[in-house]
Structure 1
Amino acid sequence: MPARSHPDHFPAATRLLHWAAAALLIAAFVLGLTLEEWPRGPQRDTAAMLHYSVGTLVLAVAMIRLLRRLLLPQPPVQGSRPVRLAAGAMHWILYAAMIALPVTGAFDRWARGRRLALFGDNVIAAPFPIGGGKLWKEAHELIAYTLVALVVAHVAAAIWHHLVMKDDTLRRMLPAR
C-alpha cells in the first residue's frame, strides 16, 4: 500500500519539484561560477551549453511549481501572522528570482547577438531584437547572487523552525518516511 502524505505535509510531487529546483540551482550556479575559468574552445562551449540547459530546467521547474502553487491547495503555513506573511513573501520572491534568472541569462546572450545552445545542438536565436547589451549580464549575475542569499535565508528559516520553534515546517518538505 503506498504511503500517504500527512495533510499538513506537501504532496510528494511538490517535494520532488522543490528538491529538483534546489539541485538544479546549485548545478547552474556552480557551472556559472566556473564558466569563465574554462579556456576558450569546445570544452568551454560544452560547459556553457550545460549552464544554459540547466538554467532552462530551472525555469521549467519554477514555472511548474508556480502553477501548482496557484492551482492546488497548499498546506497551511505554521506560525504567527508575521511569520506566515514573511514565509509567503519569501516564497513569491524565490519564484520571481528563479524565473528572472534564466530569462536574464537568455536575454544576455541574445542582446550580445549570440544564440542560445540548449541540450546539445538545439540552438535558439533571439525571438525579437533585444537591446541592453551587458546590462542583462549584470542583471543575471545580481539576481544569481541575490538568489543565493535568499536560499541561505530560506534554509536558515527552515532550520530555525525545526530547532527553535520545534514545529514541522522542515519535515513537511522532507521525503516521507
Structure 2
Amino acid sequence: MSAIDGYLHAIIVRAIQEAREDGSATIEAHHLLLAIAADNEATTHRILTTAGLDRRAVRDALDWEFEHSLRAVGVSPAACALPRPSPVSGQPKIGASARLALERSFASVRRKKELRPAHLLLGILQAQVGTVPRALALAAVDQDQLVNRVQQALSSEDA
C-alpha cells in the first residue's frame, strides 16, 4: 500500500466515525474535513491551524452552520431541545459532496502517484456550494485564501 493509499484509507475510516457520530447514513465532505482536521499530517495540519481550523474549530463551524440553517427555515435550536442523532445501522456510504471532493482531488493530478494529502484538502475546499463553504463563511474563514495556501503548499512540494 502506498503512502497516499494509507492516508486516504485512514481519512475515510475517520470520516466514517464522524458520519456515525452525526447520525448520518452518508459520508459527506464535511466529514472528510473533520477527519483531515483531526489528522496530524504536516502540510494539511499546518494549513488548517494557520487558518484557526483545528478539529474543534471545524466542528464548531459546522454546528454553527447547522443552527444557522435551522434558523433560516424558522426553527430556533435554543427554543427546542433537539435530540441527539440516532445511531445509523450499517456502514455509511460515500455521499455526493464527498464523492465530488474526491473527484476534484484526483482531477488535480495527472497520475495517482502525484497525489498528496493536500490534494484531498484542496478538493474539499474548492466546493462553491454546500455545508463546508457555508460553515467556513460563518466562521469568517476566507475560503479563497485557504485554497491559495493549499495550492502554494502543493507548488512548494513540487519544487
TM-score range, shorter chain: 0.3 to 0.5
Larger Rg: 1
TM-score by length of 2: 0.37
TM-score by length of 1: 0.34
